[in-house]
Amino acid sequence: MIDLLFGALMLFAFQMGNPNAREIVPYDFDLPTAEESRRNEAKTLLPLRPFPDGKGGWVYERPEGGRLSAEEVAAAVQRENVTPVLLVPRTSRVQNYLDAEQPLRTRGLKAGLAVGPEIGSTE
């Protein structure tokens, strides 16, 4: 009987997982999964590097060096008819991408993800 109780206790303990693991907060985002959903026309991409702005938000850097807020990105996407793509370093956490994408999502944009081969940071 004690063996059964001990086994149940161990099973419960293993189900709790790693107490040191960081929790990933999921957001609603789409991943292409089939050829049928692919469009034939090519899209013009707007590469953006996300950076925390120090106030709990994000700013997005264009390749030519200008930094844009989420509102400015939404205006640029509509004006230039481009698709935003967030460029993140390969060492970045998934949660950083999700957090950086969320302000764009709330403005109706679906940003793509591109992972850079170099080691870097989003700070």
pLDDT beyond 80 at 38? no
pLDDT beyond 80 at 98? yes
Residue 42's pLDDT band (cuts 50, 70, 90): confident
Give the per-residue pLDDT at 70: 93
What's the DSSP call for residue 36? G
- Token pair 């049928």: residue: 36
Q: How many Cβ atoms from other residues are within 10 Å of residue 36's Cβ?
A: 5
**Sheet of strand 112-116, all strands in order from the earlier edge strand to the far edge:** 67-68, 58-61, 45-52, 83-89, 112-116
Higher pLDDT, 101 or 26: 101
Give the per-residue pLDDT at 79: 94
For residue range 52-92, list pLDDT tens digits in order: 988 888 999 998 889 999 999 999 999 999 999 999 888 88
Give the per-residue pLDDT at 94: 86
The overall average pLDDT reported for the chain is: 79
Residue 93's pLDDT band (cuts 50, 70, 90): confident
Mean pLDDT of 87-115: 89
pTM: 0.62
Alpha carbon distances (Å) from 101 to 28, 33, 68, 105: 10, 20, 14, 6
- For the chain, first and last CA: distance in Å? 55
